[in-house]
Amino acid sequence: MSNKNNFPEPLSRNKIDRAFKARPALSDNLAQIVNSIFVAAGENAPKVSTRVIPIERIIDGQQSLHYEIQIEVDGVRLGERATPPPMQGEALKERIPTERLREYDELLAAFVPDHLAFEPRPQQLLKAFKRIPTHLDKKTRYSTTIFRPDQRQVFQDTSYPWSAFGRCKTNFGPFSGVMIGPRHLLTCNHAIDWTPPPGFAADWLTFTPSYYDGNSPPFGSTYATNVYWIEKNDNDRVINGNEDQYDYVVLVLNDRIGERTGWLGTRRYTDAWDSLSVWWHIGYPADLTISQRPTFQSWFAMNGDDTQDDAHESILHQADVFPGQSGGPIFGFWEGDVGPRAVAVQSWQNSETNGASGGGDLVDLAIRARSEHP
């Protein structure tokens, strides 16, 4: 149900070009990136050495300046697997009143780095791989259906805001997410492994922004250290009970990778926006790209569940969704902002509709995570 707030409507297709203009990068993009590897070793810490090897390659008729960074690790136990550390975390109990949201305007805004170009529509569009056929039971809500014609488009753009989207991975496999702060990631609850070692809130999660074919990540990669949630998913791989209302988490990452990628803002979804064809979605589908390349779909409508409060609700839509896209944000553009804002994440599907999960609680999680782990 709508809380009758007065938030402005997101921009429509015919208004976005007047409000958001493409621009080149404003500064040099030479910077530092971080990639972590995890190894099993003995009591003595492994010894590490590196080599830098130039790679000769012609791109667009010009010699590229690419390098292989070779890392040699001595003292590793062969045949033993190592994973990132599990996460600490906290369930959110207290809600933030709507009238106080203005206090958090800066925390909830998007950020566009000067070293990245800005493109209001993804560039470098690509052809999709062969689709995987599937059969769905009409009565079951899966962790995310395709409505012909399939309108998803594969892309490999690394300008902002497309730089802020990426691929997550846990014990359950790959899924999607987006940066909403300098070290803050928004994704789905049902892909988090809530069966961690004793003393922790959840098991490990890694995130690679602009993940593409497993190639060298253009912004580095990182892992999560903390997680904030409302109610934990039961990890049974389907969305039951009220899980569709709380299928989002905000994670704190190990480093400030968002300063390299930029990030989206966040905003509370209201049913006043129902039926407006203003929304976008980005994710890593298993059918079109084997979760190796991102896809986007734009200008579709959503409808919040009228029986549920705007604070936490399932939001129905008929954008094209397949497993792997779970956790990918639903987002829009607003007049006066520097970048888009996320209002929900992709959650579930059946053969008749798709469901995102969002509402005021999603924004409250973002505020809490960014305030306690700036």
Q: Clarify whether residues 159 and 196 are in a common domain.
A: yes
Residue 3 lies in a domain: no
- What's the number of domains the chain is made of? 2
> Using an 8 Å Cβ cutoff, are 227 and 273 in contact?
no
Distance CA 156, CA 218 (A): 11
pLDDT tens-digit series, residues 175-226: 999 999 999 999 999 999 999 999 999 999 999 999 999 999 999 999 999 9
In a domain, 9, yes or no: no
pLDDT on residue 14:
94
Instruction: Please state the separation of Cα 35 from the chain's center in Å.
Output: 18
CATH at 22: 2.40.10.10
Is residue 175 located within the same domain as residue 224?
yes
Which residue reads 């049974």 in tokens? 236
Do 351 and 206 sit in the same domain of this protein? yes
Burial code of 337-372, b = ≥16 C-beta within 10 A, e = fewer? bebbbbbbbbbbbbeebbbbbbbbbbbbbbbbbbee
Residue 33 domain-assigned? Answer: no
The stretches in the chain having pLDDT less than 70 are 1-6, 129-139, 141-146
Q: What is the pLDDT of residue 352?
A: 83
Does the residue 248 lie in any domain? yes
Verify that 47 and 22 share a domain, yes or no. Answer: no
305 and 286 in one domain? Answer: yes
Let me know the angle formed at the C-alpha of 150 by 144 and 154, rounded to the nearest 5 degrees.
Answer: 85
What pLDDT, on the 0 to 100 scale, is given for residue 139? 67
Give pLDDT, residue 145: 62
Instruction: Give tens-digit pLDDT for 53-69.
Output: 999 888 878 888 899 99
- Please list, in sequence order, all residues whose beta carbon lies within 8 angstroms of the beta carbon of residue 20, skipping any fewer than 6 positions away: 11, 118, 120, 333
Nearest to 247 by CA among 174, 315, 181: 315
Supply the range of the domain harboring residue 344. 16-28+85-372
In sequence order, the 6+-apart residues with CB closer than 8 A to the CB of 355 are: 141, 239, 244, 314, 315, 316, 317, 347, 348, 349
Q: Is residue 247 part of a domain?
A: yes
Residue 213 covered by a domain: yes
Same domain, 54 and 138: no
Cα 259 to Cα 181: distance, rounded to the nearest angstrom: 8
In a domain, 6, yes or no: no
**In the prediction, which pLDDT does 3 show?**
46
Same domain for 100 and 46:
no
What per-residue confidence (pLDDT) applies to 135?
59
For residue 35, what is the DSSP state? -
pLDDT of residue 80: 97
